[in-house]
Structure 1
Amino acid sequence: MYLIRERFFAIGDDFDVLDEHGAKLYHVDGKVFSVRGRVVIEDPAGEEVASVHRQLIALRPTYEIRIGGETAAEVRKKLFTPFRDKFTIDVPGPDDLEMKGDLLDHEYVIEQDGEQVAAVSKRWLTVRDTYAVQVAAGVNPLLVIASVLALDLALDREKDAKPSD
């Protein structure tokens, strides 16, 4: 299990990714002034290991995940999904993943070929913007963590775009 925890006194969306024992595995730098909606995932030594950024020219919200400098996936909101949001994690080759569930409340699963490979939950956690992420064996946890961050960016952007009441 991994915990993605927002840093409280940070400017922008800065997160730490912890293992189940509380050890810091990654730091996520939210690049607050970035026009493209970019986050960088760094190892404990401060080296970039992955990044997520919004693609500006796309028909629907689309985020590119790069791991080790290579494109690892595109996270796209599915069009025409009544009653709930769904996102596709389009990886090179045939093994795409799908995020579905209550995405707004961060209670969802990630599936591959109909089999659950990860689960994300905020329900039982008391700290604001802390997500528990369970990842099945054989699945790249960095890809799942980056996908959770892409979804977080997309939903924040949607929320900011809606007029306030």
Structure 2
Amino acid sequence: MYVIQERFFDIGDDFDVTDGHGRKVLHVDGKVLSLRDRLVVEDPAGHEVATVHRKLISLRPTYTIEIDGEEAAEVRKKLFTPFRDKFTIDVPGPDDLEMSGNLFDREFTVERGGREVATVSRRWLSIRDSYAVNIAEGENHLIILCAVLALELALQREKGENG
């Protein structure tokens, strides 16, 4: 299980993603105020392991996840999903993932081919302004965590445009 503190997205600050025991797993350098809403994800030793940034030319919210300088996934909002927001995590090959549920309240699942591979929930934690991400064994934890961070960027941008 991983813990993400959402309040840091409000100010574009740096923050850590921790495990269920409070140990730092990733450090996120929040460059939210940049033109492309860019996050740099580092391992605990400070080495860059991934970046997440918004694509500037796109009809719908779209974010690119790069690992080792290569595009590893694209996270984009699905069009025409009545009553619920859905995001697709487009990975190379046929095994795309889909995030759906109550995205705004951080209560949702990530599925691959109809099988749940991760869950995101605020209810599991008593830590204020935080939520947990639980990822199944055998899944690419870094891609899923980066996709959740991309979703945060998209929600923050939407909140800024509507608020």
Query: Residue type of the partner of 2:60?
Result: R
Supply the distance in 1 between the matched residues of 2:21 and 2:125 (Cα, whole angstroms).
15
Q: Which residue of 2 aligns with 1:54?
A: 54
Please say if residues 90 and 96 of structure 1, whose CA atoms lie closer than 8 Å, have aligned partners that are also in contact. yes
Supply the distance in 2 between the matched residues of 1:109 and 1:6 (Cα, whole angstroms).
17
Post-superposition CA distance 1:34-93 (Å, at most 9, x none): 110000101112111011000000010000001122111000000000001000000011
Instruction: List aligned pairs for 1:131-150, cutoff 5 A.
Output: 131-150=131-150
Kindly state the Cα deviation for residue 11 of structure 1 after the two structures are TM-superposed.
5.2
Kindly state the Cα deviation for residue 126 of structure 1 after the two structures are TM-superposed.
3.7
**Unaligned ranges ≥5, structure 1:** none
Kindly state the Cα deviation for residue 23 of structure 1 after the two structures are TM-superposed.
1.0
Judging changes above 3 Å, is the alpha-carbon distance between structure 1 residues 11 and 153 closer, same or farther for their aligned structure 2 residues? closer
RMSD across aligned C-alpha pairs, in angstroms? 1.7
Supply the distance in 2 between the matched residues of 1:58 and 1:87 (Cα, whole angstroms).
14
Runs of 4+ in 1 over 3 A off after TM superposition: 126-129
Q: Which residue of 2 aligns with 1:120?
A: 120
Query: Residue type of the partner of 1:18?
Result: T
Query: Structure 2 length as normaliser, TM-score?
Result: 0.93
Identity of aligned residues (%): 67
**Unaligned ranges ≥5, structure 2:** none
What secondary structure sits across from 2:58 in the alignment? coil
Kindly state the Cα deviation for residue 130 of structure 1 after the two structures are TM-superposed.
1.4
Q: Between Structure 1 and Structure 2, how many residues are aligned?
A: 162
Post-superposition CA distance 1:104-140 (Å, at most 9, x none): 1000000000000000011243434312010001101
What secondary structure sits across from 2:150 in the alignment? helix
Query: Structure 1 length as normaliser, TM-score?
Result: 0.92
